[in-house]
Structure 1
Amino acid sequence: MKAKAFIPSVSFLCFWVLLGLGTSGLLQSDDADNELGRYISWEDLSVAKDFRRERNLKHDNGVGQEYLAPAPSNDEDGSRVIVVEKNGRGDSVTVQGAVDMVPEGNSQRVKIFIQPGIYREKVIVPSTKPYISFIGHQSYVGKTVITWSDKASDRYTNGSEIGTFRTATVRVDSDFFCATAITIKNTVVAEPGEIGKQAAALRITGDKSMLYKVRVLGSQDTLNDESGSHYFLKCYIEGNVDFIFGNATSLYRDCYIRSTAEGIGSIAAHHRDAESENSGFSFVNCYIGGTGKVYLARAWGTHSRVVYSNCYMADVIKPSGWDDWEDKARDSEVLFGEYNCTGKGADRTGRVPWSKSLTQDDAKPFLGMKFISGDKWLRLKTSDNKNSQWSI
């Protein structure tokens, strides 16, 4: 995956499309001449109530709940809904099967409603299929799981290793993807420095994606936040080494970032290689906890950029805070900053001198939606972001 390993010492469905004009119900223009549908809203993260019917079942040990998977139909906002139910009562028994049902070049939102269950499969959302949502039930986030176990040292039939970038349980190459109330997991357990055990749960290369209350679980290289602009809101992300890595421009807000390291580990590894690249990871109002002693970030790229603002840091942060990938030349080029953070781990007494204690003015560009150009592709009412609590 990365040039330097971590060392502890340091379908088929028909969609009616108006041909020629290319205008669907979701892609008309509003009064401001903006194309509707070219953004993500809260409606893209929910399904109509008719799709969320439950019934109480009496079991020997009490009363439980079960989903009733309805026949496919259009959601109340006009988007298509495909139901995934592993027992065969939906439109597909697999998540990939549902993705395959979306037509190439679709121009309107397709919601894939995933019923509770463990889906043991690799899933790829190709770049030719934008506007896809993965939606679970908010009460069953931990019970709607997509899981796999590829690692970097696994081999193809020709004998070559698959490498880190092909290990992801879920890979999203499309634009305007969003997800909520699901768990994405890679079950490979890696110790820091263990060769070939890099194992991603999620890889995102598409642009303009939002994840809300999604759990991303793994150990080494859990989340490959590779490229594009992304918004992670109230997500739970765990791992031990470089478990958030890539060169995306991403805002992590109100997230629970949990280290599972037993010794030394690292949260982030950002791969910005030039001052002209407008990328970086910004963590705002996040909770940083777990085990071990971890770096806030390592400078995978020569101009790596990672900022933590208004975060609570438990006593899991290594006093030096940041790592330069054993390249002193990067010390003057990276932007590793902290602003208004609290907790024992936020004590900057022992920080490396080339990291920055930011002022409010310094931190301002990293605090809001402008950092990810969210005003151009997100339509979220701030009132819906009530109760800024870390997701668990």
Structure 2
Amino acid sequence: MSYKKILILKFSLLFILNLNAQIQNKSWKNIIYKSDDAWFASNEAKEIAENVLLYQRDIGGWPKNIQMQDKLAEVDRIALTLLKPNTKDITIDNGATIQEMDFLSKMYKQIPDNRYKEAFLKGLDYILEAQYKNGGWPQFYPLKKGYYTHITYNDNSMINVLNLLKEIKDKTDFYSIKPNDKIILKAQNAFNKGIDCILKTQYKQNGILTSWCAQHDENSLLPAKARAYELPSLSGYESADIVLLLMSIENPSKEIITAVNAAVTWFEKVKITGLREERTYDEKGKVNDKKMIPDENAPAIWARFMELDDNRPFFCDRDGIKKYSIEEIGSERRNGYAWYVTSPEKVLKKYPKWKVKNGITALKQQQNDKYYVVVTQDGSGDYKTIQEAINNSKAFPYERITIFIKNGIYKEKIKIHEWNTNVSLIGESKEKTIITYDDYFNKLSLGRNSTFYTYTVLVEANDIILKNLTIENSSGDVGQAVALSVFSHRIVVVDCRLLGNQDTLYASGIGKQYYKNCYIEGTTDFIFGSATAFFENCEIHSKKDSYITAASTPKDSLFGYVFKDCNLTSNDITSKVYLGRPWRIYAKTVFINCTLGKHILPEGWHNWSKSEAEKTSFYAEYENRGEGSNTKSRVSWSHQLCKKESKKYTQKNVLGNSNWYENI
């Protein structure tokens, strides 16, 4: 055969291989893992083994998604022989290389052909060579440009490698082919480096260990992007097998125990209940639609992709734009990708026995438990009440103290004292972690200032984070009754529900406060006080015809209340609501890019019968939308910002240095 014809055959096969790589076919995998041991002694198995040997490249690895059981013509065999030196597209992705080695091991057990052993050991050499110095593995080796160089947990690629190395370094009988002691030592060192990489890539959210991303940057170890719809995120799928591997390690180190405990806490926190995936199929049995259906009896599921900062599930089309409902993405990606998974359930089922086996009696995320404590009403945590956890926290700590509060209704009157700085109260879920109390003005009867004693939660300390909580004053529509009272500096309230009626949120003091993704409801003046506060992406819900804000901004403050990208809503009986009125005459309140419902009155603002406030207060709007956003009838003393003026109302300008709120 001429050299020219050989080249044509070579490039034809490359085209075929690349075409096959676009198609996921599980039949090869089923042959490896679902065939009886005796089958591997059959003539059919021997024929397939010849193909496996032929597809292996000289470097030791295999390309992915090859249907090894397909018969090869003589021309194909010639082309594959010519491809042996080629290192393109050799990978551990989609089970490649590992599953071929598993097959060869099963073949060798039945037919001790030395070629099977040599090919297996060459594959092992390839795996050892492909490892990064930091312990991770790229998707392709030799390295392929693009996201393929990232450390890849995607589809359990790296975990498959580590499970293989574990069997070898533990000298089990899982593989019939036994490497020599030198190779076993290399496998042990590679495994240890891999585990170290896993521990270093476990993502910290607000200082707390959580889970892993499908890909991590090979240099920074931070979550990284792969395909357009595979954005940096916490993974409900890949993280499960990572934890199962860590749990399989005998005599785990403190670091491994910490990692497992943290991941289990995270799995419990982010599991989704009451939701079931419903599929419809076409006449060929292919999925043509997926819908998520409410079902209170459905088993727990987990999202494949979750936001790094707040665990919110998201979905993507090939345009890479995040959506927060699976119904918002096109049918091709919606039906062609596993957006929800159940694999973490395996972790949760094995975890109790793992704890007993390793003598673990309490769930801790940090080795130094002074900085991480758990509140549970059933006594399984460190404390049964939130206030007890706060009272036992170190005063003015140098490190942040996290108080993780498990789901439950906590009827407590909470006070975060001035000396309890640098504390985070983190709920398991904002809907089910509820802090409630029922004090109100006339109930306390402490004089004209009784309002300020009605709080459910009072924050006096600086540098506090409140997250995933419902904070409620449950006294009803009985007058002044505060749910959350804050008058300190650098306070972050994120993903919380603030429930009440009159005076729900007392945002006061001379400090800076940040509210993000919160639901705040009330009747009269339900956001009031003197603070500089930035509200972002919050729902502000009016329950009665009245006033939303009552700012008492100090005269010299540059900003008061700033609402940006918020949604102002109401119930069906509410139709006459003012954006605000001045509790004190220098009140400042601005709404920017907000959606104003039809309940907002055309005049917008009220002077609280203080004519001087019309000259001294500053009430303004910019590019709002919705039925209540028409500014033609606004009071003459309010302001409509121009584009240049609106630019000063950024987070950084309003709140100052971003290091205390930016990464929450």
Normalization by structure 2: what TM-score?
0.46
Distance 1:374 1:296, change over 3 A: farther
Equivalent of 2:558, from 269, 278, 292? 278
Note the 1:205-220 alignment, pairs <5 A. 205-220=487-502
Give the conservation status (yes or no) of the 8 Å contact 1:79–1:108. no
Aligned to 1:371, the other structure's residue is in SS state helix
Q: What corresponds to 2:23 in structure 1?
A: none
Aligned to 1:135, the other structure's residue is in SS state strand
* Cα separation, 2, equivalents of 1:206 and 1:313: 29
Aligned to 2:648, the other structure's residue is in SS state helix
Q: What corresponds to 2:650 in structure 1?
A: 367
Q: What corresponds to 2:455 in structure 1?
A: 168
Amino acid at match of 2:438: S
Q: Does 1:52 align with 2:52?
A: no
Equivalent of 2:581, from 298, 310, 319? 298
Distance 1:241 1:44, change over 3 A: farther
Q: What corresponds to 1:248 in structure 2?
A: 531
* Cα separation, 2, equivalents of 1:224 and 1:250: 11
Higher RCO structure, 1 or 2 (CA under 8 Å, sep 6+): 1
Equivalent of 2:374, from 83, 102, 106? 83
* Cα separation, 2, equivalents of 1:234 and 1:97: 28
1:284-311 C-alpha deviation (Å, 9 max, x unpaired):
0000011322110111111100000000
1:265-321 C-alpha deviation (Å, 9 max, x unpaired):
1111100241x1234000000000113221101111111000000000110101110
Equivalent of 1:342, from 625, 630, 640? 625
Amino acid at match of 1:106: P
Note the 1:45-124 alignment, pairs <5 A. 48-54=262-268, 62=297, 71=362, 73-75=364-366, 80-124=371-415
Aligned to 2:482, the other structure's residue is in SS state coil
Provide runs of 4+ in structure 1 moved above 4 Å: 44-47, 61-70, 76-79, 159-162
Distance 1:252 1:374, change over 3 A: farther
Q: 5+ residue gaps in structure 2?
A: 1-203, 211-261, 272-295, 301-344, 353-359
Give the conservation status (yes or no) of the 8 Å contact 1:79–1:111. no
Give the conservation status (yes or no) of the 8 Å contact 2:206–2:663. no
Q: What corresponds to 1:179 in structure 2?
A: 466
* Cα separation, 1, equivalents of 2:405 and 2:554: 38
Amino acid at match of 1:116: N
Aligned to 2:430, the other structure's residue is in SS state helix
Shift of 1:206: 1.5
Q: What corresponds to 1:265 in structure 2?
A: 546
Aligned to 1:112, the other structure's residue is in SS state strand
Give the conservation status (yes or no) of the 8 Å contact 2:514–2:535. yes
Equivalent of 1:198, from 480, 503, 516? 480
Shift of 1:332: 1.2
Q: Does 1:131 align with 2:414?
A: no
Amino acid at match of 2:485: R
Equivalent of 1:358, from 636, 641, 646? 641
Aligned to 1:92, the other structure's residue is in SS state coil
Shift of 1:166: 1.0
Aligned to 2:628, the other structure's residue is in SS state helix
Distance 1:52 1:375, change over 3 A: closer
Equivalent of 2:567, from 266, 287, 310? 287
Shift of 1:376: 5.2
Equivalent of 2:206, from 27, 43, 49? 43
* Cα separation, 1, equivalents of 2:473 and 2:601: 26
* Cα separation, 2, equivalents of 1:115 and 1:218: 22
Q: What corresponds to 2:611 in structure 1?
A: 328
Distance 1:77 1:342, change over 3 A: farther
Identity rate of aligned residues, in percent?
A: 30
Give the conservation status (yes or no) of the 8 Å contact 1:233–1:254. yes
Distance 1:152 1:345, change over 3 A: same
Give the conservation status (yes or no) of the 8 Å contact 1:45–1:179. no
Higher strand share: 1
* Cα separation, 2, equivalents of 1:309 and 1:257: 14
Distance 1:318 1:44, change over 3 A: farther
Q: What corresponds to 2:57 in structure 1?
A: none
| Structure of larger gyration radius | 2
* Cα separation, 1, equivalents of 2:550 and 2:208: 29
* Cα separation, 1, equivalents of 2:487 and 2:607: 25
* Cα separation, 1, equivalents of 2:373 and 2:361: 10
Q: What corresponds to 2:436 in structure 1?
A: 147
Q: 5+ residue gaps in structure 1?
A: 1-40, 382-392
Distance 1:332 1:44, change over 3 A: farther
Normalization by structure 1: what TM-score?
0.77
Distance 1:333 1:254, change over 3 A: same
Amino acid at match of 2:646: A
Amino acid at match of 1:294: V
